[in-house]
Structures are given as structure tokens and as C-alpha cells.
Amino acid sequence: MTGGFLDGDVFKGLAFRILLFLTLALLPFGLIAVFQTREIARQANSNSELSLLALTDQAASAERSIFQEAFGAAEALSALAQLYARDARACSTFLEAYRRAVGRYSFIGYLPPDGVMRCSSAGSEFDFSGFPGFVEEVEAPRRQITWNPEGAISGEPVLVLSQPFFTRVGFAGFMTMSVPLTVIAAEMASPLQGMPANIVTFNADGVIVRSDRAREITDIDLPASKPLSKLVGQEPTVFKDINFDGASRIYAVVPVVPGVAYAMSIWRPDEMQESLRQSIGLSLSLPVLMWLASLVVAFWSLNRLAVRHIRKLGRQMRHFAYNRRVPRTALGQGVPRELVEIQKAFVRMADSIVRDEAALENNLRDKNILLKEVHHRVKNNLQLISSLMNMQIRRAQSDDARQVLKRLQDRLLSLATVHKNLYQTEDLDRVDAGKLVEEIIGQLLVMGLSAARGVQLTQQYASIEMDADDAAPLTLLVSEALTNALKYLGPPRDGGPTRLEISLKKTDEAEAEFCIVNSTAGAQGSAGTGLGSQLISAFARQLNGHVEVGFENDEHALKLRFPILQRVKDAYDF
């Protein structure tokens, strides 16, 4: 059947086909409601934890108010106690009057660092210097709350709040406030619906100082795997643990006075929440299996519709990159319209690249021919100038004039040799330095070294590629160096033969060395003060090289080290 609605171009597109297959694959995700339920349960659990913390904080609000008020009063009374420090009776009278006026404290006292309390609301003197831990408290004074099961004045359980205070000299003592537990219980908020059944207050040492139930019951209901001292200093937290009786409990901890006292509420797990968590855990397996099945279907559909055709198109592109073969075969039947259009665009692009590369090669060939012709004409012009100078040399009236013209002629011939090598080589950007130096040395030796002198000549030239721009300063430097060597060439004083050694070699992959050594009759020359030495230094700088000149044992040596650029080969990386 042809010409139907499904045969339109829209339904042949890759996007429509992928959407169709993915729609079929993602149908099982109707069970996503299970995950939404899990998210709702997680939010409910988070809200439950916040509710537990809020209820715990609300239940401990009265206790927090008492503690904060007591510590604030202790700070204020510590300053007044200092004023009455020398009059214990007046100090005690003042503290007793304050205690009666407030009506919340059973005892107030000022404890100096020596441990003898002389100023207290009881009006008596108490010696605490021998109490266990008193020395440690004096050495490291801090706010603290302790539980005394039997107050010395009231005879009932009290909480003792100690507030250290300091003067310019240093630690000045503690102001202690005793709060009866009955006062705290009376001021606690009225029980509301949802309030915890048990609130435990513990200090910074992890010691319980107050509980709503009997201590024996409270001790059994504490978390078995997490001591209270581990909860000190933490942010408000909710955690689940088992108590010492093996029962599951939920604990909520909030700071009452940060760093001093903390309140912990103890809850029994809600059975409905537990069943909800179990059902959510069991419902996870089915959606996971459906998700894996959806991935398999999606992968199969994408591989069938797109991936295999894209791989074939990639192979065609790699073949074109390697050997410039333009693909002429189609991708096959049933290929999405988008991929067919991509292949057609690639074929058109490949044809255009092949044509452009052919045009570039023709232009490059024409450019090389023109450059070679330029180098050839420059070489001919330099040789013509050299011939004119040769005529001038023969007509020169003095030896100095002939010598100067001869040196200029050598430099012109060196440049002419460079241009000759450039138009004779295929690569106009590179030149063989070994071949070039050998040819220049040969020209200079023919003109400057006679066979009758009996010179022992040693030459060694390595094939080294270098940029054409560096060829001119190298040849001019070699010309100057050899001219200087021939100028002072002679037999050594020990009677040996006259020696001349010339070499060009690689010292490593990125550096080359030119060396010329000649024997002398003991004369060292001008030691770099003449024009030749200045030119050698200038040419070495152009090469970014370094020249070393030395004279030892009737031998004069010149060494030039200069960098050579390595040819970078293009490569395709697929």
C-alpha cells in the first residue's frame, strides 16, 4: 500500500521514529506513581522529623527559659559579688534578698578560685576545695549544669548551674545557682497532644540532669549504640536506634543551651509509617525491572534506526580522509531521511574538497616554479656581481683593497650557493645544511688553500634539514669562520703536519653543531676584535646559537651550537 498517510516525509524522519519507539518503551513507566509515592513518603518522613524536633524544642522551651535566665542572672550577680567581696556578710545578705525576691532558686553562691565559699544566700561558709574535680574545673572554667539528688539547703533534688566570670587579672570564680526540679516541673508547658512521653536533659559531659520518668526507666530507654556524649555539639538531629532493652526507638535531640545542655525526646516508632516504608521498599523492584526493559528496547531501536547507519557513514568519512575516495554507494534501505541528507551533504562536500585541493596543488606548483625562478635569477645576479668584483680585484692597487674585495666576494658566493640550493631542491622551505656547508667549504678551499701547503684536511657533514631563512646566516658564518681559519693556518710548533678539521653534526634531535679546528704556529689572532669576529657573533645571534672560540696546544677551535626545527608530520587521528 502506497500513498497512505504513514508514507509521508514526516513519518520517515529519524525524530518521529525514535519518538515512536521510545513511546512504546516508556509505556511501563506508568508505574512512576510508585516513585512519586516514595517521594511523598520521603517528604512525609522529613516532615515527621521536623515535627519531632519542633515538639521536642517546644517541650524544652520552659527549661531553656529557666537556664538562660539563671545564667543571665549569674553574670549580673557576679559583678555585684565582686563589690561585696571583702564583706562576706553584706554579700550573703544581698544574695539572700535576691533569692527571696525571685523565688525560683533554692541557693545562690559566689565560689572564688580558692574553693572557699564565703558569700552565699545561706549565709554560711562552705569549703569546696577538696571536692572531686574542683581543681580541674578551676583550671578549665566553663558553663555547666549538674544534678544534685539532695540539695544542701532545700534537701530536694536540684540542678546546679555554674557560671564562670573573669576580670582583667583572669579567672575570678564561679557564680552558682541551684534550681529545684520541682520548680522546673511546675513551669514546664502543659502536655499537649503529640508531645513526647519522655524528655531527657543531659549536660555537655553526656550526664543526665533531668528526666520526666524514673532514672531506672530512663537509663533502659537510652540509645544502646550511641552514648549521649557523642550527641553533644551536634545540630538538631533525629535518629533511630534500639534501647538497652532491645526495643526500637526514635530519638530527637535539640540544644537547650548550646554547648551546655541538650534535650532528647524518646518516641516509639509509628506502626503506620513503618508499614508504609515496607510497602515502598517492596514496590521498588517492579519499576526497576520495567526501567531496565525500557532501556533494552530504547537501545535496540536507536541501534536499528540510527547507530548502525551513523557508523557506516563514519567509515565512509574515514576512507575519504585517508585516501580521498568519495563514497558513491548509498547507506541502504530504510535509512532515516535525516541521515540520507547528511550523506548527500558529505558527498557534495567531499567533491568540493577534492576540487579545491587540486586547485591548491596547481597554485602551489606554479608558486614553486616562480620561487625557483626567483632564486635562480638571484643566484645569477650574485654571480654576476662576483665577476664584476673579480675584475675590480685584478685592478686594485693595494693588497688591503684586494683582500677586502676578496672577503666581500666570498660572502656573495656564499649567498649565491644558498639560492642555488633553494632552486634545486623540491621543498623551498627547507634546505640540507650539510650539503650546503660542504659546497661552500669546497668553493672557499679551492680559492684559499693551495695543494703545495700540505694541509691535512678532515671533513664530516651530516645531512641536517633547516629552514631556508636560517641558511643565509649559517653560510655567511661558515664563510667567515673558514676565512679566519685559513688566515692563521700553519704547522704547529711541535713539528707536526698542518691540520684543518671541519664538521657539521647533530648533537641531539633539536640541536646541531658546526666545528672548525685548525693548527697554528702559535699565533692566536685578534681574539674577536676584528670585523670577522663581529660578523660571526651577529650571524650566531640570528641562528639563536652560541659560539665558543678557544686556543690550546697550537690549535684554534670555533664551535657553533644552534637549534634546528623538527618537521611536524600531519596525521589523521580517528
CB contact at 8 A, 283 and 37? yes
In the structure, what pLDDT confidence band is assigned to residue 504 with cuts at 50, 70 and 90? very high
CB-based burial label for 86 (10 Å; 0-12, 13-18, 19+) = exposed
Per-residue confidence (pLDDT) for residue 26, from 0 to 100: 64
Q: What is the pLDDT of residue 316?
A: 83
Confidence of residue 288 (pLDDT cuts 50, 70, 90): low
C-alpha cell at 413: 658566493
pLDDT digits (tens, 9 = 90+) for 476-485: 888 888 888 8
Span 545-550, mean pLDDT?
A: 89
> Residue 189: is its pLDDT beyond 60?
no
Q: For residue 141, is pLDDT > 80?
A: yes
Q: What is the arithmetic mean of pLDDT over 331-354?
A: 81
Contact 257, 71 (CB under 8 A): yes
Residue pLDDT, tens place only, 359-391: 888 887 777 677 767 767 777 787 788 788 778
248 band by pLDDT with thresholds 50, 70 and 90: confident
**Is the pLDDT assigned to residue 122 strictly greater than 90?**
no
pLDDT, position 496:
77
Task: Return phi, psi of residue 169, to 5°.
Answer: -75, -35
pLDDT value for 526: 47
Q: How many CB atoms lie within 10 A of CB 425?
A: 17
Of 72-81, 129-138, 337-346, 528-537, the least confident: 528-537
Q: Which CATH number fits domain 61-185: 3.40.50.2300, 2.60.40.10, 3.90.400.10, 3.30.450.20?
A: 3.30.450.20
Structure confidence at residue 558 as a pLDDT band (50, 70, 90): very high
Domain ranges of the chain: 61-185, 431-568
Amino acid at 476: L
Residue with more model confidence, 377 or 164: 164
Task: Establish how many alpha carbons lie within 13 A of residue 535's alpha carbon, considering only the half-sphere containing its beta carbon.
Answer: 19
Q: How confident is the model at residue 255 (pLDDT cuts 50, 70, 90)?
A: very high
> What distance separates the 2 farthest-apart alpha carbons in the chain?
138
Task: Say which residues have a Cβ less than 8 Å from residue 255's Cβ, sequence separation at least 6.
Answer: 236, 261, 262, 263
Q: Classify 543 as helix, strand or coil.
A: coil
pLDDT > 70? residue 167: yes
Looking at per-residue confidence, does 344 or 163 come out higher? 163
3-state secondary structure of 548: strand
> Nearest-CA neighbor of 431 among 442, 443, 447, 420?
420
pLDDT tens column, 402-428: 777 777 777 777 777 777 766 666 666
Looking at residue 28, its pLDDT comes to 64
Percent of residues, the chain, with pLDDT higher than 70: 78
Q: Tell me, what's the pLDDT at 566?
A: 62
Task: For residues 390 and 274, give the distance between their C-alpha atoms in angstroms, rounded to a whole number.
Answer: 112
Of 473, 367, 468, 369, the C-alpha closest to 422 is 468
Confidence of residue 470 (pLDDT cuts 50, 70, 90): confident
Residue with the three cell numbers 541538650: 262
Which pLDDT tens digit goes with each residue over 21-42? Answer: 666 666 666 556 566 666 666 6
Beta-carbon contacts of residue 18 (< 8 Å; ≥ 6 apart): 301, 302, 305, 306
The mean pLDDT of 50-79, rounded to a whole number, is: 87
Separation of alpha carbons 439 and 414, rounded Å:
9
Per-residue confidence band for 10, with pLDDT thresholds at 50, 70 and 90: low
Confidence class of residue 130 from pLDDT cuts 50, 70 and 90?
Answer: confident
Residues 62, 517: Cα–Cα separation, whole Å: 103
Average pLDDT over every residue of 100-110: 89
Domain 431-568 has CATH 3.30.565.10: yes
pLDDT (average), residues 87-114 = 88
Q: What is the overall mean pLDDT for the chain?
A: 79
Residues whose CB is less than 8 angstroms from the CB of residue 365 and which lie 6 or more positions away in sequence, other chains included: none
Classify burial at 512, counting beta carbons within 10 Å of its beta carbon; exposed 0-12, middle 13-18, buried 19 or more: buried
Q: Of 405, 407, 411, whose CA–CA distance to 388 is shortest? A: 405
Q: What is the pLDDT of residue 515?
A: 94
**Residue 496: CB atoms within 10 Å:** 11
For residues 14 and 18, the model is more confident at 18
Pick the more confident residue, 344 or 286: 344
Is the pLDDT at 529 greater than 50, yes or no?
no
Please enumerate in sequence order all residues whose Cβ is within 8 A of that of 85, keeping only pairs 6 or more positions apart, or say none.
91, 110, 112, 119
**pLDDT at position 286 over 90:** no
Say if residues 136 and 123 touch (Cβ distance below 8 Å): no
Q: Are 410 and 444 in contact (CB under 8 A)?
A: yes
Mapping DSSP onto H, E and C, the string for 371-411 reads HHHHHHHHHHHHHHHHHHHHHHHHHCCCHHHHHHHHHHHHH
Q: Which of 543, 446, 530, 537 is nearest to 484 (CA)?
A: 530
Of 43 and 16, the structure prediction assigns the larger pLDDT to 43
More confident residue, 197 or 238: 238
pLDDT at 229 over 60: yes
Structural contact between residues 176 and 293, judged by C-beta atoms closer than 8 angstroms:
no
Rounded mean pLDDT of 297-322?
Answer: 77
pLDDT exceeds 70 at position 2: no
Query: Taking 60 as the threshold, does the pLDDT of residue 1 lie above it?
Result: no
